[in-house]
Amino acid sequence: MTRLGVQDRLVPGASIREKYDAVRTFGFDALELSGRPAFEDARAAIRDRVPVTAIAGGYRGWLIDPDPDQIALARTDLAQLVDLAGELGTGIVVVPIWGRTRNLPGLATGRSRDQDEALFLEGLRPLAQRAERAGARIFIEPLNRYQNDVCVTIADALRLSAALASAAVIIVGDTFHMNIEEADMAASLAGAGERLGYVQVADSQRLEPGAGHIDFGPIFDALDEMGYEGDIGLECAGLSGPAPVALPRAAALLRDLIRESELRA
């Protein structure tokens, strides 16, 4: 069954165990790890048997950073996180870069887009092989055009995943970014088919679902119709109120959406 997770930084608690105990009372099933780097949190989750939907952004540097030292950091951290993700039975969310784009002045990487894509794939290939051995997954996530310009849409992520030709490499759909880039979010998710491995949810202004204007009904209908069985992670920039208020409200909304889409099927 699909599990509902919530990013750990949104949850009160001094330890991963305390955060997990809190999210259970809020109506969630698991945590999404987001610390940078996420090594210790992942080891704590393994030790305390805390379920994890994904490790998201838990590494230093970027695979297409302008600084070669930052690329090396990203490759080293991701290799270690792949092994930890395998022990957790989950995957790592990977993006080419955050905050570098040719769509805004002065924010390019200094390479061409084709060079950036080739460099991204170069970094991912050994990670894909490692993930296959470790029983882990790599989730390629499209980010909106103002945060990168290599992987912007679901179609971009599918193309990159296909280039790697690895069963361990699948894709993420994030409703915040999709709301900017996809003409029809439900159709884009349906088009991903079995390559869709994880879904992150946030509303239009990147608060929790229900706090903005995204209509999540068609999105959840599409997930149900395609037989999606992966996890759903709440990944927001913040919450519209205190976590003990906003998170239970979001969990209830998400569970209602799942239930209602099943009834309409």
3-state secondary structure 111-167: CCHHHHHHHHHHHHHHHHHHHHHHCCEEEECCCCCCCCCCCCCHHHHHHHHHHHCCC
Is there a catalytic annotation at residue 194?
no
Query: What is the maximum alpha-carbon separation in the chain?
Result: 52
Catalytic residue among 117, 181, 182, 235: 235
Residue 123 in tokens: 């970094």
Catalytic residue among 32, 141, 182, 208: 141
Is there a catalytic annotation at residue 235?
yes
Task: Compute the distance between CA of residue 37 and CA of residue 56 in angstroms, rounded to an integer.
Answer: 10
Helix (H, G, I), strand (E, B) or coil at 213: coil
The C-alpha torsion from 160 through 143 and 139 to 36, rounded to 10°, is 130
Q: Are 149 and 113 in contact (CB under 8 A)?
A: yes
| 93 Cβ neighbours under 8 A, 6+ residues apart | 54, 55, 56, 57, 139, 141, 172, 198, 200
Task: Compute the distance between CA of residue 65 and CA of residue 72 in angstroms, rounded to an integer.
Answer: 9
Task: Compute the distance between CA of residue 76 and CA of residue 94 in angstroms, rounded to an integer.
Answer: 13
Residues marked as catalytic: 141, 235
